[in-house]
């Protein structure tokens, strides 16, 4: 079965009086519980795919089916319902989050916005999510700027998991972390996938990370997918 089906996605950006073809006919699919890695050089269009999935950018052409629903064109409540099921983790949570926000507040946001649990149960739900991502519940009251980069990325993962999504888009989510922290976060992601059956679109230029986590790999270049297949065949072991 298919969780995400992307067909013929094209996107041009206008810059002054120039046009940049960011995507030129991108098609890919992800099965439930699977990790597809999207790799390729800087500027090849990876983030544009992510931004279109998150409905932050509208494509010029193409179709996206998520959980059997047409994603493009959804508005309002229907879009919010899908958002709960399709979450995102960015490279730099410091840039994405208000640095004054507390750890608990950040995890509370999706619980509140999507009405996942009632107000009285939220502190317990927050504590459970912190444990789930390997963070001490004592961190709940800390502010984003007071914790480490690895801890921030765990908070970002907890926040993404709060709505029990079927798919998490990870855009260079481990790329800024030092090598040991990166290994920890990669094993956390694998463990969460085993336990909760979440699928990942894992966008990365880091082949080591990709080799560790991907089931299938799609290689992008110049806005196109130039190769796609099982991880073991797309990147041979060193
Ligand atoms: P990647 O994530 O692989 O680095 P991007 O999707 O960010 O690639 O970019 C693909 C192409 O689109 C690049 O040529 C980039 O310069 C261009 N681009 C991305 N965002 C914009 C934008 N907002 N305005 C103009 N051009 C953009
Ligand atoms: P805000 O200022 O936006 O209300 P807070 O961080 O004060 O954000 O609290 C947001 C939510 O997190 C509230 O539901 C609160 O019950 C919960 N919360 C705050 N601190 C803790 C904590 N130490 N442990 C568990 N839950 C907490």
- The rounded Å distance from CA 157 to ligand 1 centre is 25
Q: Which two tokens mark 185?
A: 């976060």
- The rounded Å distance from CA 95 to ligand 2 centre is 21
- Name the residue among 181, 180, 179 with its Cα closest to residue 157: 181
With tokens 């507390």, the residue in question is 102
Atom 16 of ligand 1, nearest CA residue = 43
- The rounded Å distance from CA 69 to ligand 2 centre is 34
- The rounded Å distance from CA 99 to ligand 2 centre is 15
| Sequence-ordered strand ranges (E) for 156-208 | 167-171, 199-203
* CA pair distance 32, 199, nearest whole angstrom: 6
Q: Closest ligand 1 atom to the C-alpha of 23? A: 10
Quote the pLDDT of residue 1: 86
Global pTM value? 0.90
Query: Measured from the CB, is residue 193 less than 6 Å from ligand 1?
Result: no
Nearest ligand, measured from the Cα of 144: 2
198: left (phi over 0), alpha (psi -120 to 50) or beta: beta
Instruction: For residue 231, give the 3-state DSSP assignment.
Output: helix
3-state DSSP: the chain helix, strand, coil percent, rounded to 5?
40, 30, 30
H or E, element range at 209: helix 207-213
pLDDT confidence bin for 95, thresholds 50/70/90 = confident
pLDDT (tens digit, 9 = 90+) per residue, 210-230? 999 999 999 999 999 999 999
pLDDT (tens digit, 9 = 90+) per residue, 100-122? 899 999 999 999 999 999 999 99
In eight-state DSSP terms, residue 101 is: S
The sign of the CA dihedral 162, 165, 170, 171 is negative
- The rounded Å distance from CA 141 to ligand 2 centre is 7
Q: Check: CB of residue 47 under 8 Å from CB of residue 216.
A: no
pLDDT (tens digit, 9 = 90+) per residue, 181-208? 999 999 999 999 999 999 999 999 988 9
Q: Closest ligand 1 atom to the C-alpha of 49? A: 6
ipTM: 0.73
Query: Measured from the CB, is residue 208 less than 6 Å from ligand 1?
Result: no
Atom 15 of ligand 1, nearest CA residue = 43
Atom 7 of ligand 2, nearest CA residue = 105
**Beta carbons within 8 Å of 32's beta carbon, 6+ residues apart:** 1, 3, 166, 197, 199
Q: Closest ligand 1 atom to the C-alpha of 171? A: 2
């Amino acid at each position: 079965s298919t969780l995400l089906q992307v067909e013929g996605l094209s996107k041009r950006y206008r810059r002054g009086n120039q046009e940049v073809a960011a995507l030129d006919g991108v098609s890919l699919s992800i099965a439930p519980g699977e990790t597809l890695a999207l790799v390729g050089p800087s500027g090849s269009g990876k983030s544009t795919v992510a931004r279109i999935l998150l409905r932050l950018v509208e494509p010029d052409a193409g179709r996206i089916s998520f959980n059997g629903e047409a994603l493009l064109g959804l508005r309002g409540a229907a879009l919010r319902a899908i958002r709960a099921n399709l979450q995102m983790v960015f490279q730099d949570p410091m840039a994405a989050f208000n640095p004054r926000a507390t750890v608990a507040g950040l995890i509370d946001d999706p619980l509140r916005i999507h009405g996942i649990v009632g107000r009285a149960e939220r502190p317990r739900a927050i504590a459970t999510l912190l444990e789930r991502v390997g963070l001490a519940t004592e961190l709940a009251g800390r502010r984003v700027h007071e914790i480490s980069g690895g801890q921030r990325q765990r908070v970002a993962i907890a926040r993404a998991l709060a709505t029990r999504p079927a798919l998490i888009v990870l855009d260079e989510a481990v790329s800024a972390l030092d090598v040991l922290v990166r290994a920890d976060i990669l094993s956390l992601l694998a463990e969460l996938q085993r336990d909760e059956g979440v699928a990942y679109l894992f966008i990365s230029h880091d082949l080591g990370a990709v080799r560790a986590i991907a089931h299938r790999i799609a290689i992008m270049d110049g806005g196109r997918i130039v190769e796609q297949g099982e991880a073991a065949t797309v990147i041979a072991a060193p």
